[in-house]
Amino acid sequence: MKTPKSYYLALIGILALASCKDDDTRSCTQCSNEQTIDFELCREPNGNASVNGQDTGTDYDVYLSGLEQEGTSCN
């Protein structure tokens, strides 16, 4: 069965629009570890991680990966 080109173009357009997001948004999650009290981890608009409102100066993904390696869970 052949799929029309217009289907692929529409799919590409939808994916492109869905991947565009407002870069000025801040998204947060709660994290916990047996050795610390619960804390809020946020992805700042500049891509850095912040903990309880304090910018760490570290890329969010790098910071989160380090937390997970130390047994911290964020959801």
Average pLDDT, rounded, for the chain? 84
Asked whether 25 and 65 are in contact (CB, 8 A), the reply is no
pLDDT tens sequence across 41-56: 999 999 999 999 999 9
Three-class SS state of 46: coil
- Spell out the domain ranges in the chain: 23-74
Is it the case that residue 21 has pLDDT exceeding 90? Answer: no
* Structure-token pair, residue 59: 């890329």
Asked whether 52 and 59 are in contact (CB, 8 A), the reply is no
